[in-house]
A and B are shown apart, each in its own frame.
Chain A
């Protein structure tokens, strides 16, 4: 059974989707229950991964499965090659953990065409899990594109007023980037074949890691991959799809989008762009770090000025993911581990924030900050929950947000990105400003709007959604080692691999310069 654990986990939602398609269209609650059960089962299937101690010591890929998928003579070969290490482990866990929560949040929110929504949600889960476990570039690409379709329909059919625009924008932005990646990945493949990588290994990234790609070529290939991932993260100039998509998407869609889909971009850097093209990654570091810092500050400033809570949270994502990018490009243990931890905590906190916005919207059908005020008196439980989540998003010590950001800043400071780290620190302060200011305007003071006087506090279902998230907010905040210990070996291995290649490249460059120097002297 454990031999095929990952496949079972990845394709079980697809089985669930088929079941859903055969349920009667009117059986609204039944469909929701079945979907919930399916996602919970997927979570339990994936649970043994989190308790597996092998990740504490080993940086290799585990639970690997390798099956020949497409093979065409000497033209090309693709394999179904999956596996996880300490890095993808937590992203897989995040996915299986967030999905039931997202489904549960739709209980009263999605009423039209439940069947379609749930089928798409399960398809999306398969796509996301598949992308996190793929070790074959072609397979990864297939899953990566597969995620687009369900999200497109989720935003377009169940979204808000401006949903068509947001859905099309989301789709086209992401697809354009990934098409360039497609060209790059085919190129890498033929380069590898010509360089003598065994044909049977297909698009295996483990093989590609070993390759020495000439510097100039790396630059182009890295640019293609990095552009595609930058759109997904999203990084500063290509982030504009995100506020629209987030704001228009239904709550469950926003939660999945923020908690998991955005991580695809940063994960793409860690798993593909950087280790495949380490020297180019080094060249691009100042540029990408700059964009990351611009994203941090710009996202925070724009978030501050929003009058729509959901849009505010969306822009805060731009800011938070800027931190992740900064950490990753520090190229040291603190930076990258912090980045990955921050991916997880951002998933938990921002997912929770979108749920909270969803609760507000379900009660008042508005998301404007000005329409609220003084809610803490009317909804005390809600206020507590909201406060905890807000503080975790701000990065208060003791909550998850702090650990990640702290590690990232240390990493960046030590990793030669000092100036960037200093500027990014202002982002932390700004986060406190926009989050707390928003919290104050929504929750504190007197109840000014009479419509807010009789709002119901959180129901048991809503509390049940929030409690697991709050548990992890504190768990990661107080004892992050549970998570860090298991990702560190893989991260260390990644750094060793990347640094090694970068140093060789630098040495070669030095030699080149020396040679030039000598020849000039002659």
Chain B
């Protein structure tokens, strides 16, 4: 007994989880501090969370190029995890900056909001750094449970309640699939460690067409595809994205989605590299479906939040193209694209949080009529984000798509690339339509309620800088993304 403890302690290596531990400490500390703050005072919580994210980011950065493995190889803080962690931290930071004003306007200035975002971010970081099924599952649950609460955060609003409940029920269901898949794989290989599973499967090739292995692979994929919002498991996305508080929608579309990619990609690459032809074929079909469903249904939407929800499905589809390519360019393309997407999508949602009235009933195309002239700065910002979402140079959306499609073409998936670009052609229509209303229609409202709080402005400015930085001089970050893949 004594011996066991000793072995376990030898392999702890706290450095591997240091950033997420720091973030969690900030979150818990914040919960304590909140007790002493008067109700409605949210400023300190905002800035403490931001400081927490920055400090965590500093530790993630300083660990770049120096991978740390800990807990008997259950956690690996390698470049891959670090790159994704940066994405989560940016997503969380941008989200927190746009939240304060929004929560006050909607009448829920509740401080628990911020620790929950920090916990979700920490969970996402465990997903990215997990090299054991259990670590990944743990991260996924920490992240998801925080998000269930956040999605239903406006407990007086029916839509938010619906979003929270729907997300919770379907999410719990999909987690069941995931866990079942993990159990089957454990049953086949006798291990939960990703590398061991991979080694075992490649050593026992008779297992590759074993129904248990395949069922495990499929169930695992279903769990992750649900979290990605990929077709045909996308049905929750529009309702949850529309109903959840707008900053949370922004966060969900960027951070947790990237986390799902992080874990999914690592599991596929570490455990199932021997089954690559099978799962790339499966993902080929799903990527095409996801892109088409997302883009085509988005055309019909008149609510901008809902439209961005469908567009977010489509963007998951683009990123999946990188997984199908299954080469280094495609993989690092996913990393780069998720970072690019974080800036452009949260940026777009940031404008929405500012443009909405209480209750957000005006976030429709009609409601946006003439917005660009009444609110020129926000209009220009929104235009930049929309062009980036379309994938037009010189924005991050373009370089990101280029990276991913370059991977697909290099791997020989020409048709997939063609389907991908044709899908972005479809997406032009609905993104342009927002601009048509913003600039080509006469204003119906004066948007006098729109204010520009400093925090939200900082968030939008960071997003714009990100979009142009990744669009005009993307070389350095692309190189980092290259170094981050396995």
Q: State the A residues within 8 Å of B (CB).
A: 69-73, 75-76, 113, 141-142, 145-146, 148-149, 152-153, 156-157, 163-164, 167-168, 171-172, 175-176, 179-180, 182-183, 186-187, 189-190
A73 & B479 in contact (Cβ 8 Å cutoff): yes
With A and B bound together, what is the CA distance between A24 and B394 in angstroms? 27
In the complex, besides A72-B479, A153-B439, 19 extra interface pairs with C-beta distance below 8 angstroms are A70-B474, A71-B475, A72-B482, A142-B394, A148-B392, A156-B439, A157-B440, A163-B440, A164-B436, A168-B436, A172-B428, A175-B428, A176-B422, A179-B425, A180-B418, A182-B421, A183-B409, A189-B406, A190-B406
A141, A149, A171, A183 interface centre (most CB from chain B within 10 Å): A183
Given contacts A72-B478, A157-B440, A164-B436, contact A149 B422 (CB under 8 A): no
21 A-B pairs in the complex with CB atoms less than 8 angstroms apart: A70-B399, A70-B475, A72-B475, A72-B478, A75-B328, A75-B332, A75-B478, A76-B329, A76-B406, A142-B398, A146-B393, A152-B432, A156-B440, A167-B440, A168-B432, A172-B428, A180-B421, A182-B421, A186-B406, A189-B406, A190-B409
With A and B bound together, what is the CA distance between A240 and B406 in angstroms? 32
A183 & B421 in contact (Cβ 8 Å cutoff): yes
Q: State the B residues within 8 Å of A (CB).
A: 328-329, 332, 373, 387, 392-394, 398-399, 402, 405-406, 409-410, 414, 417-418, 421-422, 424-425, 428-429, 432-433, 435-436, 439-440, 473-475, 478-479, 482
B417 & A113 in contact (Cβ 8 Å cutoff): no
A70 & B393 in contact (Cβ 8 Å cutoff): no
Give every chain A residue within 8 A of B332 (Cβ-Cβ): 75
Give every chain A residue within 8 A of B387 (Cβ-Cβ): 149
Chain B, residue nearest A69 (CB): B475
Minimum CB–CB distance from B247 to chain A (whole Å) comes to 28
With A and B bound together, what is the CA distance between A69 and B422 in angstroms? 27
With A and B bound together, what is the CA distance between A148 and B390 in angstroms? 13
Give every chain A residue within 8 A of B402 (Cβ-Cβ): 182, 186
Give every chain B residue within 8 A of A156 (Cβ-Cβ): 435-436, 439-440
Per DSSP, chain A at the interface is helix
A175 & B440 in contact (Cβ 8 Å cutoff): no
Minimum CB–CB distance from A326 to chain B (whole Å) comes to 30
Chain A, residue nearest B327 (CB): A75
Give every chain A residue within 8 A of B425 (Cβ-Cβ): 172, 175-176, 179
Give every chain A residue within 8 A of B421 (Cβ-Cβ): 179-180, 182-183
Which residue of the partner chain, among A146, A180, A187, contacts B409 with CB atoms under 8 Å? A187
With A and B bound together, what is the CA distance between A72 and B474 in angstroms? 9
With A and B bound together, what is the CA distance between A70 and B399 in angstroms? 10
With A and B bound together, what is the CA distance between A145 and B414 in angstroms? 22
With A and B bound together, what is the CA distance between A207 and B425 in angstroms? 30
With A and B bound together, what is the CA distance between A176 and B410 in angstroms? 22
With A and B bound together, what is the CA distance between A186 and B332 in angstroms? 17
Chain B, residue nearest A25 (CB): B376
Minimum CB–CB distance from B163 to chain A (whole Å) comes to 32
With A and B bound together, what is the CA distance between A236 and B482 in angstroms? 44
Chain B, residue nearest A155 (CB): B440
Minimum CB–CB distance from B97 to chain A (whole Å) comes to 25
Given contacts A69-B475, A167-B440, contact A186 B424 (CB under 8 A): no
Instruction: Name the 7 nearest CB pairs between A and B, nearest first.
Output: A179-B421, A142-B393, A70-B475, A72-B478, A176-B425, A156-B440, A186-B409
Give every chain A residue within 8 A of B422 (Cβ-Cβ): 176, 179
Minimum CB–CB distance from A183 to chain B (whole Å) comes to 5
Give every chain B residue within 8 A of A164 (Cβ-Cβ): 436, 440
Give every chain B residue within 8 A of A152 (Cβ-Cβ): 432
With A and B bound together, what is the CA distance between A284 and B475 in angstroms? 38
Minimum CB–CB distance from A23 to chain B (whole Å) comes to 14
Give every chain A residue within 8 A of B394 (Cβ-Cβ): 142, 146
A73 & B428 in contact (Cβ 8 Å cutoff): no
With A and B bound together, what is the CA distance between A113 and B418 in angstroms? 39
Minimum CB–CB distance from B432 to chain A (whole Å) comes to 6
Chain B, residue nearest A163 (CB): B440
Minimum CB–CB distance from B412 to chain A (whole Å) comes to 9
B418 & A183 in contact (Cβ 8 Å cutoff): yes
Minimum CB–CB distance from A82 to chain B (whole Å) comes to 16
Chain B, residue nearest A164 (CB): B440
A141 & B418 in contact (Cβ 8 Å cutoff): no
With A and B bound together, what is the CA distance between A142 and B399 in angstroms? 10
Which residue of the partner chain, among B329, B393, B473, B482, contacts A145 with CB atoms under 8 Å? B393
Which residue of the partner chain, among A171, A186, A190, contacts B428 with CB atoms under 8 Å? A171
Chain A, residue nearest B417 (CB): A183
Minimum CB–CB distance from A342 to chain B (whole Å) comes to 30
With A and B bound together, what is the CA distance between A104 and B410 in angstroms? 48
Give every chain A residue within 8 A of B414 (Cβ-Cβ): 183, 187
Minimum CB–CB distance from B357 to chain A (whole Å) comes to 26
Give every chain B residue within 8 A of A76 (Cβ-Cβ): 329, 406
B482 & A113 in contact (Cβ 8 Å cutoff): no
Minimum CB–CB distance from B295 to chain A (whole Å) comes to 13
Which residue of the partner chain, among A145, A168, A182, A190, contacts B429 with CB atoms under 8 Å? A168
Give every chain B residue within 8 A of A113 (Cβ-Cβ): 373
Give every chain B residue within 8 A of A168 (Cβ-Cβ): 429, 432-433, 436
Minimum CB–CB distance from B68 to chain A (whole Å) comes to 24
With A and B bound together, what is the CA distance between A187 and B399 in angstroms? 16
Minimum CB–CB distance from B396 to chain A (whole Å) comes to 13
With A and B bound together, what is the CA distance between A399 and B439 in angstroms? 42
With A and B bound together, what is the CA distance between A145 and B418 in angstroms? 18
B392 & A149 in contact (Cβ 8 Å cutoff): yes
With A and B bound together, what is the CA distance between A148 and B394 in angstroms? 12
Chain A, residue nearest B373 (CB): A113
Give every chain B residue within 8 A of A153 (Cβ-Cβ): 439
With A and B bound together, what is the CA distance between A156 and B478 in angstroms? 35
With A and B bound together, what is the CA distance between A180 and B429 in angstroms? 17
B392, B393, B474 interface centre (most CB from chain A within 10 Å): B393
A73 & B475 in contact (Cβ 8 Å cutoff): no
With A and B bound together, what is the CA distance between A179 and B398 in angstroms? 11
With A and B bound together, what is the CA distance between A152 and B433 in angstroms? 12
With A and B bound together, what is the CA distance between A187 and B411 in angstroms? 10
With A and B bound together, what is the CA distance between A146 and B468 in angstroms? 13
A70 & B473 in contact (Cβ 8 Å cutoff): yes
Which residue of the partner chain, among A70, A141, A142, A190, contacts B410 with CB atoms under 8 Å? A190
With A and B bound together, what is the CA distance between A317 and B393 in angstroms? 29
Minimum CB–CB distance from B198 to chain A (whole Å) comes to 25
Chain A, residue nearest B419 (CB): A183
With A and B bound together, what is the CA distance between A146 and B123 in angstroms? 40
Given contacts A164-B436, A186-B409, A187-B414, contact A75 B329 (CB under 8 A): yes
Give every chain A residue within 8 A of B373 (Cβ-Cβ): 113
Minimum CB–CB distance from A120 to chain B (whole Å) comes to 11
Chain A, residue nearest B407 (CB): A75
Chain B, residue nearest A159 (CB): B440
A141 & B432 in contact (Cβ 8 Å cutoff): no
